[in-house]
Amino acid sequence: QVQLVESGGGLVQPGGSLRLSCAASTNIFSLDVMGWYRQAPGKQRELVAQIVRDDSTIYADSVKGRFTISRDNAKNTLYLQMNSLKPEDTALYYCRALGLSVYWGQGTQVTVSS
């Protein structure tokens, strides 16, 4: 089994930045796809960003130009750099990985307010 642990969430003002981390319990090179999802109250969970083995990435239109997904294979860690944050970015952010199975982290809360 693969465990994913997110960190880096918190409260930030509009226009601010945060970097989320997702630490995996396995070598992330063994994972075919890794990504970040988010879910706001009353809304469906949505894909924010995704990265695959060849480093190809996709982003939700709402975050293009503001968020960057990356990974550090040596640290078995996935990152999401979030800049120019907006109140609409407020959500619980989840790390997701696809290998032999689908794995989800517990989530980390991001709140953009004031």
Sorted by sequence, the CB contacts under 8 Å of residue 78 that are 6+ apart come out as 21, 22, 24, 28, 34, 36, 51, 69, 70, 71, 95, 97
Q: How confident is the model at residue 30 (pLDDT cuts 50, 70, 90)?
A: confident
Phi, psi (deg, nearest 5) at residue 28: -70, -10
Query: What mean pLDDT is reported for the chain?
Result: 96
Question: Confidence class of residue 2 from pLDDT cuts 50, 70 and 90?
Answer: very high
pLDDT in tens, 54-97: 999 999 999 999 999 999 999 999 999 999 999 999 999 999 99
How many other C-beta atoms are found inside a 10 Å radius of the C-beta of residue 64? Answer: 10
| Contact by Cβ (8 Å): 78, 98 | no
